[in-house]
Chain A
Amino acid sequence: GDSVTQMEGPVTLSEEAFLTINCTYTATGYPSLFWYVQYPGEGLQLLLKATKADDKGSNKGFEATYRKETTSFHLEKGSVQVSDSAVYFCALSWAGGTSYGKLTFGQGTILTVHP
């Protein structure tokens, strides 16, 4: 079945450092890919998405490129802020069969940014 694997955390960075959170997936066909973010005490909210190969999703300085050849969707940000401290989830959604519209999540990566 479909699965998503994220790099293990937690990740601790200083403000203005470069961030990469790795995400790889296994799926039949061509899923859409997402990054969701969960701030402390809140539900998940969509950060960015990409619906086909080579698409780049971007939002709030974060970027991720859909790489079909490496089945990856790594999240990057050039300069993190303390306010970026949160849990980040990679997810996929596939349009096939009985699975369409549902999300499969990775295990989440905790990011802590220090001043």
Chain B
Amino acid sequence: DADVTQTPRNRITKTGKRIMLECSQTKGHDRMYWYRQDPGLGLRLIYYSFDVKDINKGEISDGYSVSRQAQAKFSLSLESAIPNQTALYFCATSDTPEGGSISSYNEQFFGPGTRLTVL
């Protein structure tokens, strides 16, 4: 089984609808992230969570919200979808630096992505 799973894998919806994308992980990591990928723009961070009680906005959080239901689950919601939110969405996880030290090289593990189309 995959370590990081995302549901659904594909979704087509209409403008104004509420959409939830779900991410689950079995890696036991505290940190989870939501990114969107657009052609020519790479991946941009929407929200991130360093533990269940710590949620932070990324660079493009407007129009999105998140919920960290448990260590293993991190959901992304679009309260009222609009066409320019059409993109590929990725969830990722990473471990916490050992001993509380600041370490910048922890690998992030990505889910397979959710392709969202807003008509």
Q: Is the CB of B105 within 8 A of A51?
A: yes
| A-B CB contacts (within 8 Å), total count | 65
Which of B12-20, B69-77, B79-87, B96-104 is the interface stretch?
Answer: B96-104
Q: Which residues of B contact A94 (CB under 8 A)?
A: 104
Q: Which residues of B contact A45 (CB under 8 A)?
A: 109-110
Give A105 to B58 CA distance when docked, in angstroms.
13
Q: Which residues of A contact B97 (CB under 8 A)?
A: 101
Contact of A105 among B42, B48, B102 (CB under 8 A): B42
Q: Which residues of A contact B45 (CB under 8 A)?
A: 102-103
Q: Is the CB of A43 within 8 A of B111?
A: yes
Contact of B48 among A89, A102, A106 (CB under 8 A): A102
Contact of A107 among B41, B106, B107 (CB under 8 A): B41
Q: Which residues of A contact B119 (CB under 8 A)?
A: none
Interface range on chain A (Cβ under 8 Å from partner): 20 to 34
Distance in Å: Cβ of A56 to nearest Cβ of chain B: 15
Q: Is the CB of A95 within 8 A of B104?
A: yes
Q: Is the CB of A107 within 8 A of B42?
A: yes
Q: Which residues of A contact B94 (CB under 8 A)?
A: 101
What are 27 inter-chain pairs, A to B, with CB distance below 8 A?
Answer: A31-B104, A32-B105, A34-B107, A43-B90, A44-B90, A44-B92, A45-B109, A46-B107, A49-B107, A89-B42, A89-B43, A93-B104, A93-B105, A95-B104, A100-B102, A100-B104, A101-B31, A101-B97, A102-B33, A102-B48, A102-B58, A103-B45, A105-B42, A105-B43, A107-B40, A107-B42, A108-B40
Which B residues are closer than 8 A to A by beta carbons?
4, 31, 33, 40-45, 48, 50, 56, 58, 90, 92, 94, 97, 102-113
- Beyond the given pairs A43-B92, A45-B109, A98-B56, 20 more chain A to chain B contacts, judged by CB atoms under 8 angstroms and listed by A's residue number, are A32-B105, A34-B107, A42-B112, A43-B90, A44-B108, A45-B110, A46-B107, A46-B108, A51-B104, A93-B105, A95-B103, A95-B104, A96-B102, A101-B50, A101-B103, A101-B104, A103-B45, A107-B41, A107-B42, A108-B40
